[in-house]
Amino acid sequence: MVAPMNDSSTSSVSSKEERATLYERLGGDAMMNIMVWSFFDELVEHPDMKPFFKNIAMVAMKTHTVKLFKVMFGTDEEQPDDENLREYLLRTHTRLFRDLGLDAGHFDTLAGCFVEGLQSFQVSQDLIDECVALMAPLRVVFEYGAELAKKEKEMDPKELKKLPWASAKTIGTEEPAVLPTLASIDIPDWLPTALAGKNATKHTVREWTCELTDRFGAEGDSEIADTFLDQPWVDHHIFCVSFLQLAFLPDDVDVAHRQKMLEIVMYPRGRYCARLSRHLFDRMITQFALACQKLGMSTHHSKPAEEKLLTYRSAFAGKTVKVGGATCPHILSKTYEQHMEMVMAQERESSMRKSSKKKKRSNKKAFTRLIMEAPDCSETETGSVTSRETLNASFTREDASNRSTSRSSKKSEGKDSKRKSKMPDFIKRVFKAGQ
């Protein structure tokens, strides 16, 4: 016999429902993954939206969209400020505003497809209304972006360079501004030809970077994805272009340019984080070789590129740092900075442990040399006796002193790192960059 539910248990269930976020009430990770995958499958076939998804790494985009919805529909502690969200959307859609004519009408189509998708999964109208209430205010970003793109085409290129970047603060104003460039990389003239020979087109490089992005993602190589998907969406293209340049760099290329490309590949999560490991770089080369096969490159051209990549192998780290890229907070999450501080603290601690071990090994070798070179018992010029036991005791005291100093400096360094905590480089690019 089932006991009747009393008032306290009823209120407990009610309070749990009240505490649940919109994201959780929509079904959480499992349901959101299914809905987002279905949503994009519909979008890429929509005649008005199809052009925007040509040469786009769809798997990675779906993953980042789930992360974005988790923040937008999440807790108050995670939800981004309205200004930051608008700034992010404006900056990450610049190319689509300028080159493909993205506008508010396309936003309406996208929102309509999203609502239809929720309805097809039998989501209640109340939940759909909550989603719409959060998304509808973002339409103004697409109106503004399209308006700026139109004005840019009518202006002198020299005048454009003098104008400041548009931002969330300039949306809805008449202030002169140009669309912001969040992150970009120049494509050298030789790269499309190196990739496709006489068949090269203006889309060749993006075709290759999309292929690599999905191969480096969760459904390609999950080990690489752990690091790769911790990058913001817009940085994937830059990383893959740099990787391709390393593979096909002409011998006479500028040394500084070579070093710049290498540094981008060495630090996929930014210079503030650990280097990419040799293990992951090797796996990337394997995925690159598979991409070459799929995209029709002959082994005559792909094999030398693989060998060239291997020449950089020694520049990468010996240990792989796991960061949980696909599951870590979206860059817009208010908890993202805390997450990055935690990751950086772990990496600093690991680096300090490694440094400490090296020092101990170095001290041990020095001690061994002293012991081997010292006689069992010998007279010094002052008449005192030095023995291996005396050296041993002296060395032990010195080692203890070093450890004490190390602990003191580590404590001091910990305090300094808290005081000097810096915002990650690419967050600065997203929210603070300007001309």
Q: What is the pLDDT of residues 6-59, one digit of tens each?
A: 544 444 444 445 578 999 999 999 999 999 999 999 999 999 999 998 888 888
DSSP one-letter code for 99: H
Mean pLDDT estimate for the chain? 80
Q: Is the CB of residue 201 less than 8 Å from the CB of residue 193? A: no
Contact 138, 85 (CB under 8 A): yes
For 99, the token pair is: 């080159």
Confidence band (pLDDT; 50, 70, 90) for 343?
low
pLDDT at 409 over 80: no
Closest among 291, 290, 273 to 226, alpha carbons compared? 273
Closest CA to 346 of 363, 330, 366, 323: 323
pLDDT of residue 276: 95
Decide: 148 and 178 in contact? Cβ < 8 Å: yes
The H or E element spanning position 386 is strand 385-387
Assign 3-class secondary structure to 111-166.
Answer: HHHHHHHHHHCCCCHHHHHHHHHHHHHHHHHHHHHHHHHHHHHHCCHHHHHHCCEC
Segment among 136-150, 318-332, 391-405 with least mean pLDDT: 391-405
Superfamily (CATH) of domain 19-170: Globins (1.10.490.10)
Q: Would you say the CATH fold of 190-315 matches that of 19-170?
A: yes
- The CATH number of 190-315, from 1.25.40, 1.10.490, 3.90.930, 2.60.120, is 1.10.490
DSSP output for 236-259: HHHHHHHHHHHHH--TTS-HHHHH
Instruction: Please count the CA atoms within 13 angstroms of the CA of 193 that sit on its side-chain side.
Output: 6
Task: Give the separation between CA 382 and CA 283, rounded to whole angstroms.
Answer: 63
Contact 142, 106 (CB under 8 A): yes
Task: Work out the average pLDDT over 234-246.
Answer: 94
CA distances from 395 to 64, 240, 294, 377 (A): 55, 51, 61, 17
pLDDT tens track for 174-201: 999 999 886 778 999 999 999 999 999 9
Q: What distance in Å separates the CA atoms of residue 23 and residue 18, rounded to the nearest whole number?
A: 13
Q: What is residue 210's predicted lDDT score, i.e. its pLDDT?
A: 94
**C-alpha dihedral sign at 308, 313, 314, 315:** positive
pLDDT digits (tens, 9 = 90+) for 287-340: 999 999 999 999 999 999 999 999 999 999 999 988 887 777 777 877 666 666
Task: Give the percent of the chain with pLDDT over 90.
Answer: 51
DSSP label at 307? Answer: H
Q: How many CB atoms lie within 10 A of CB 123?
A: 18
What is the chain's Cα-based Rg? 28
Residue 110 has pLDDT above 70, yes or no: yes
Per-residue confidence band for 354, with pLDDT thresholds at 50, 70 and 90: low
Q: Is residue 420 pLDDT above 80, yes or no?
A: no
Instruction: Check if the beta carbon of residue 288 is closer than 8 Å to that of residue 239.
Output: no
- Domain boundary assignment for the chain: 19-170, 190-315, 336-394+404-432
pTM given for the model: 0.69
| Band of residue 127 on the pLDDT scale cut at 50, 70, 90 | very high
**What are the pLDDT digits (tens) for 60-81?**
888 889 989 998 998 887 888 8
User: Is 182 or 379 the better-scoring residue by pLDDT?
Assistant: 182
For residue 132, give the nearest of 50, 17, 22 by alpha carbon: 22
Query: Phi-psi region for residue 383, left (φ > 0), alpha (ψ -120 to 50) or beta?
Result: left
What pLDDT, on the 0 to 100 scale, is given for residue 433? 36
Please give the C-alpha separations between residue 218 and each of 8, 58, 325, in angstroms, as whole numbers. 44, 12, 9
Q: How many CB atoms lie within 10 A of CB 116?
A: 12
Tell which residue, 394, 366, 365, 389, has the closest CA to residue 376: 389
